[in-house]
Structure 1
Amino acid sequence: MPLPESSSVPPAELEARLRLHRLPELGPKRFMTLMEAFGSASKAISAPASAWRALGLPAKCAEARRAPEIRDGAVHAMAWLKGPAQHLLMWDQPDYPALLAQISDAPPLLFVAGDPSILEKPQLAMVGSRRASRPGMDTAAAFSRSLAGAGFVITSGLALGIDAAAHQAALDVGGQTVGVLGTGLENFYPQRNRRLAEAMIAQGSAVLSEFPLDAPPHASNFPRRNRIISGLSLGVLVVEASVASGSLITARLAAEQGREVYAIPGSIHHPGARGCHQLIRDGAALVETVEHILEALRGWQRLPLAAEPVPVTHPLLRLLHAAPLSSEALADASGWGLPKVLAALTELEMEGRATCDSGRWFAR
């Protein structure tokens, strides 16, 4: 259901907020400094430059606030908000995500394409390598399907690799998913995932950004983006990541924000598992099945715990859709003898319904 556009903020104040939002070197904390000092964006915009300097704000901010491109950008954003399924959420309005509002540097403005009401539902972030292995992609998809089927909104960064696999798998089972961009919504990056973003919006999910609509992909934007991914979510699951991965930044931010951090282990010989192993050494919860996450979040989740997200009749495939498992683990989980499990897996592999990689079986 669409939320009231811009709620009770008068048009003049809305335009002033959008102008402040576009100023160079004015991040969330400086934005809020101005709002607290002057009481409104309209008064901040019209205040003398000396008052801005007294607040310790860069001269560049005060000089740019009346520039034509700043005003034109705000006017364009107001026109954008009149489009279908296009919204602006503001920190002082009732439709702003409550969990995100708790973080110390919450974005004062959020542009949202799609259904913003899903931001109040229980979210679980899934992140990982842009250059993920095939097993890593399969694992991300399996976990996303089960978590979405259990009622969680799957939140990620719409990057290539693990992010895209998680978003797509949630859509595949009729679940909801949120993509957080490191660019403006009108300057989408990466372009290869534009169709995925459009499908998310069309199917009742959402894509959002704290950046102005035309903001380009600067490297500094993505760590900022990551704090929103974790801030919206009850926890962050890292599926596959190197030690230098941005996913570890998201996990660190999640821990600082008091969120749960989960990591899926892998082979000691696989570079893409080393980041997850580092997280586990640092205190992240080691996750082998979706049930590990669902049990940990049982106190948070007000929805029934995991119904099977897709109609799968084969008992081994039901287990593999929840998470990849070794043949021995499948025997334990199913109660079947190992010879029977191996015979069934052989048949499933020949039918193209299961595959084995590095000793673990994956549903296809």
Structure 2
Amino acid sequence: MEREELGFWLRLSLTPGVGNITARKLLAAFGLPGAIFHQSGTALRQVVSETLANNLRTEPAELAELLDTTWTWLQASGEGCAQRHITVLGDADYPASLLNIEDPPLMLYLLGAGKFIPNSTLATVNTTLTATNSIAHCFTGSLVNSMAVVGSRNPTPQGVANARQFSKALGQAGLTVISGLALGIDGAAHEGALDSLMPGEQRLATVAVVGTGLDRVYPKAHRDLAHRIAQNGLLISEYPLGTPPLSANFPKRNRILAGLAQGTLVIEAALKSGSLITARLTAEQGKDVFAIPGSIHSTQARGCHALIKQGAKLVESAQDVLEEMKITVAPAASADSIANETEATGPSDLFDADDRVMQALGFDPVGLDALQARCGLDTADLQAQLMTLELDNRVSRLPGGLFQRMARA
């Protein structure tokens, strides 16, 4: 994209009152943004209101600075940095799967090892890239083998472990894991996908769809994770550089996350979790929704249980997902290894039956007094046992003085 053309697209996105829907109407009527801004007020008023027509004929004050910043950002691509790219609505490399969602983004900013390529040229590109062992650096807009993995920002320790284990297993099967870089389940999903990479392996492990400009990382705690994703995956945003983490942006970005993926796996979610938005959008697009069940007493399981009641597929292992999606396991990963990676969520990984404390814990969070009543140990002995089990990662201490057993991978 040339600098002048980029300026027209940025101007369209910055014009007050012009959102994606209005922008698409203007593009349909006049063609590329450059043509829109050469129209007379009379012509513009045939498509939009007089107020919007006047706004379109006035250059936004912040345009020049944003254009300089964005152009400089693009020119840094490949100079010791991750690849940078912008694709716009109507481009051959614009993700085809996003054209089918209710509100396709006007522009997409890409940062990382991947870049969209037109489906029409995929065969040629694949042949070339295979010869150079760089197939990881390109993918189609439909992300043929992909899964969105989402969940609570405040998960249980077991939820974090499940997200990481499932994502690693899905990655080993050759799937790209898509999530939102948020705290909790999202971050664990990205981590698990990156864990699935073998030394020297070149593959698009994970995609992060973010709610800020790509020159910012939110949350700051995920700065290192974002840099790792840029090396072995891709970060995507519809927001201009400099966009801060506004709360309204995060639910909105979920439509892109759902649109790119073949299906959505919800690990843990409360009834009002944003993850349920992604699940709903996925179902509305005719794609599969998967959910991992949890304790009936856990608020973080209620969203998953609601999804299952509504028709989401209950899964206990990554193999369940692969079989439902009819995805053939990649040669490097056997079905047995994938099943073993996540079988901790099922009953086959129970702890020793003669372990009094572990038996007394059961599978739901429990307080110290109730646990003591179940196992019959005095307070000092029970606390010592719990401390040992915590250090061995067999038990997790939860807020409110509760304890819960951890499944083992």
Work out the CA distance in 2 between the residues paired with 1:96 and 1:318.
33
Q: What aligned pairs does 1:182-197 form with structure 2 within 5 A after superposition?
A: 182-197=211-226
For 1:188, the aligned partner's letter is V
Work out the CA distance in 1 between the residues paired with 2:139 and 2:155.
28
For each residue in 1:98-124, what CA deviation from the matched residue of structure 2 results, as whole angstroms up to 9, or x when unmatched?
A: 222322321121000012224543210
Does the CA-based 8 Å contact 1:143-1:323 persist in structure 2? no
Say which of 220, 224, 228 aligns to 1:199.
228
Deviation at 1:52, TM superposition (A): 3.5
For each residue in 1:124-166, what CA deviation from the matched residue of structure 2 results, as whole angstroms up to 9, or x when unmatched?
A: 0000000111000000011000001101100000000000000
Root-mean-square deviation (Å): 3.0
Runs of 4+ in 1 over 4 A off after TM superposition: 317-320, 338-342, 349-354, 356-360
Match in the other structure for 2:175 = 152
Match in the other structure for 1:355 = 394
Match in the other structure for 1:335 = none
For each residue in 1:6-35, what CA deviation from the matched residue of structure 2 results, as whole angstroms up to 9, or x when unmatched?
A: 4xxx54333211221223333222211111
Match in the other structure for 2:309 = 281
For each residue in 1:46-69, what CA deviation from the matched residue of structure 2 results, as whole angstroms up to 9, or x when unmatched?
A: 323444343235826742651231
CA 1:78–1:270 in 2, change beyond 3 Å: closer, same or farther?
same
Work out the CA distance in 2 between the residues paired with 1:208 and 1:269.
36
1:325 equivalent in alignment to 2:331? no
- What SS is found at the alignment partner of 2:87? strand
Say which of 101, 104, 129 aligns to 2:102.
104
Does the CA-based 8 Å contact 2:8-2:34 persist in structure 1? yes
Say which of 217, 238, 243 aligns to 1:210.
238
How many residue pairs get aligned? The number is 335
Say which of 2, 24, 47 aligns to 2:39.
47
Greater CA deviation, 112-121 or 154-163? 112-121
Work out the CA distance in 2 between the residues paired with 1:307 and 1:341.
35
Q: What aligned pairs does 1:1-364 form with structure 2 within 5 A after superposition?
A: 6=1, 10-57=2-49, 59=51, 62-63=54-55, 65-84=58-77, 85-114=83-112, 115-116=114-115, 117-118=138-139, 120=141, 121=143, 122-174=145-197, 176-202=205-231, 204-298=232-326, 301=327, 304=330, 307-308=333-334, 319-327=339-347, 329-330=348-349, 355=394, 361-363=407-409
Provide TM-score, normalisation by structure 1: 0.82
* Higher Cα radius of gyration: 2
Work out the CA distance in 2 between the residues paired with 1:286 and 1:272.
16
Unpaired segments of 5 or more residues in structure 2?
Answer: 78-82, 116-137, 198-202, 360-387, 397-403
Provide TM-score, normalisation by structure 2: 0.74
Unpaired segments of 5 or more residues in structure 1?
Answer: 1-5, 310-314, 332-337
Deviation at 1:324, TM superposition (A): 2.1
% identical equivalent positions? 37
CA 1:192–1:325 in 2, change beyond 3 Å: closer, same or farther?
closer
For 2:344, the aligned partner's letter is P
- What SS is found at the alignment partner of 2:67? helix
Does the CA-based 8 Å contact 1:157-1:181 persist in structure 2? yes
For 1:148, the aligned partner's letter is G
For 1:159, the aligned partner's letter is A
